[in-house]
Amino acid sequence: MSRYRRPGSRSRVLVIVQNLPVPFDRRVWLECQSLLRAGYDVTVVCPRGQGTGPEQVVEGVRILAYQPYAPGGRAVGFFVEYAYSFLATARLALKARRQGAFDVVQACNPPDIFWPLAWALRVRDGSRFVFDHHDLCPELFESRFPNGPSVFHRGLLLLERATFRTADRVTSTNESYAAIARSRGGKAPEHVTVVRTGPDPQRLKRQAPAPELRRGRAHLVAYIGVMGPQDGVDIVVQAADLIVNTWGRDDISFVLMGGGDCWGDLVAERDRLGLQDHVDLPGRVPDEFVTEVFSTADVGLSPDPLNALNDVSTMNKTMEYMAFAMPVVAFDLKETRVSAQDAAVYVEPGDVEAYARAIVELVDDPAAREEMGRRGRERVEQQLAWEHQSVGYVAVFDELTGRPRRAARTTRGVASTSTPAAPPSPAAAGAPAEPATPPLARTEA
């Protein structure tokens, strides 16, 4: 194995992302910043974001980007997209490698397709491979295409297993994902570290409200996230129909921020129900607008329905609502309870009327909203924030590169260590990762 590196250069890390551009992917951007502060040289390969070029340096991170491919929402389209993304990523990774070998390659999923590239760089240069485990791709496929070809599902299981087996270390976004890495992935417990996608409480916090966002009404209810088949935003529209058209509540406005495969259908359904004046669907919006909405809203919505994926996934939006001291209305999912604890009202999965009722009851109880919001914000500051998660994350890279262990430190009164085998404190968003605005991602991706 060869390892060419310029004399005196820092340890190099290559980060591969396919499903979101960077720095829009909040989790990945926080990871990059943590590695930079720890003294690593960081290069990212990802799809281009709106208004970005093929190469840029943002706050010290070199970003090489390719033109994204739009799959069109069909299962076979994702296969074509992944093949295209792999080839585009390999081309840019080899371009970046001309400046020297990478000590560590990190690949983020979905999808689970980059292990051959990590393996090739290991053979060529001795690079180590970290799998940043954002999503469960087989379950994600099932949630989007419940009647999809079984061969695709089996293929995704094989790709996932190959990724786990190739990885030297796995950073999982919660304990449920870590358990899958150990069981389905066959990873040794000491090679799996839980690194949650914690929000940054210094940047994500309430500011002065913008009353005009309520559109002349007393209350505002907010959603942010991807709008796909598995995200439950249609449930919010149904709940708004009950609240406004059936129960006659004209004092509540809704703003549902984000984009995705279902955005057009959601707009059409809203218009069919005559909710144009009550439900705003602005698509993806600037950071400043999100901050204004979250500083004004009374309740945050996490309508993710119960399925094999959502039950064990941590939703970025839930923790972001908590960072803004907003109480949350969510369906009763395992990892949502882990994240929000008593900062949320939990509804029986699938019960749209109960979901609508929970929104109205919270809107009508300012004391409960204030107390739940306070508890959520406190939980973010003391346990979920990225500053608590980043210590264990950087320790994984220090171990792989042979750097000395960093001394334990205390942040906001919470002791932290850099032992990679010990998961950090419980803490998503997505992951999805994720600018001050969180990414429009379902999970901690």
Residue 361 CB contacts under 8 Å (≥ 6 apart), including other chains: 345
Is residue 421 in a domain? no
336 in the same domain as 275: yes
236 in the same domain as 112: no
Looking at the predicted structure, is the pLDDT value of residue 431 above 90? Answer: no
Is residue 412 in a domain? no
What per-residue confidence (pLDDT) applies to 147?
78
159 in the same domain as 69: yes
What per-residue confidence (pLDDT) applies to 14?
98
Burial state string for 370-401 with b = 16 or more CB within 10 A and e = fewer than 16: eebbebbbebbbebbbbbbbbbbbbbbbbbbe
What per-residue confidence (pLDDT) applies to 74?
63
What per-residue confidence (pLDDT) applies to 113?
96
185 in the same domain as 49: yes
253 in the same domain as 188: no
Selected residue with higher pLDDT from 428 and 193? 193
Handedness of CA 412, 415, 420, 426 (dihedral sign): negative
What per-residue confidence (pLDDT) applies to 3?
52
Q: Tell me the percentage of the chain whose pLDDT exceeds 70.
A: 87
285 in the same domain as 183: no
On whether the CB atoms of residues 114 and 133 are closer than 8 A, the answer is no
pTM of the model: 0.82
Q: What is the mean pLDDT of residues 380-386?
A: 94
Is residue 436 in a domain? no
What per-residue confidence (pLDDT) applies to 69?
81
- For 128-170, what is each residue's pLDDT tens digit? 999 999 999 999 888 878 877 788 889 999 999 999 999 999 9
Our count of domains for the chain comes to 2
CA distance 176 to 365: 34
137 in the same domain as 102: yes
Q: Which domain holds residue 183?
A: 12-194
- For 93-131, what is each residue's pLDDT tens digit? 999 999 999 999 999 999 999 999 999 999 999 999 999
Looking at the predicted structure, is the pLDDT value of residue 429 above 60? Answer: no
CA distance 190 to 184: 16
The distance of Cα 417 from the centroid of its chain, to the nearest Å, equals: 24
Q: Is 361 helix (H, G, I), strand (E, B) or coil?
A: helix
Reported residue count of the chain is 445
Looking at the predicted structure, is the pLDDT value of residue 213 above 50? Answer: yes
Q: Which two tokens stand for residue 428?
A: 């998503």
174 in the same domain as 235: no
What per-residue confidence (pLDDT) applies to 230?
84
Looking at the predicted structure, is the pLDDT value of residue 7 above 70? Answer: no
190 in the same domain as 89: yes
Q: Is 256 helix (H, G, I), strand (E, B) or coil?
A: strand
269 in the same domain as 168: no
CA distance 80 to 144: 17
Q: At which of 160, 194, 228 does a domain end?
A: 194
CA distance 139 to 308: 6
Is residue 272 in a domain? yes
Looking at the predicted structure, is the pLDDT value of residue 30 above 70? Answer: yes
Is residue 205 in a domain? no
- For 333-367, what is each residue's pLDDT tens digit? 999 999 999 999 999 999 999 999 999 999 999 99
Is residue 237 in a domain? yes
Selected residue with higher pLDDT from 443 and 397? 397
CATH number of 77's domain: 3.40.50.2000
333 in the same domain as 264: yes
pLDDT band with cut points at 50, 70 and 90 for residue 439: very low
Q: At which of 162, 194, 226 does a domain end?
A: 194
Place of tokens 């970046």: 96
Average pLDDT, the chain: 88
Q: At which of 159, 194, 229 does a domain end?
A: 194
Burial state string for 129-151 with b = 16 or more CB within 10 A and e = fewer than 16: bbbbbbbbbbbbbbbbbeeeeee
On whether the CB atoms of residues 383 and 23 are closer than 8 A, the answer is no
Indicate the DSSP class of residue 411. E
Find the distance separating the first CA and the last CA of the chain, reported in whole Å. 33
Looking at the predicted structure, is the pLDDT value of residue 205 above 50? Answer: yes
What per-residue confidence (pLDDT) applies to 284?
87
89 in the same domain as 39: yes
For the ranges 116-120, 227-231, 388-392, the lowest mean pLDDT is seen at 227-231
What per-residue confidence (pLDDT) applies to 130?
98
Is residue 327 in a domain? yes
- Bridge partners, 444 (sequence order): 431
What per-residue confidence (pLDDT) applies to 149?
79
Is residue 199 in a domain? no
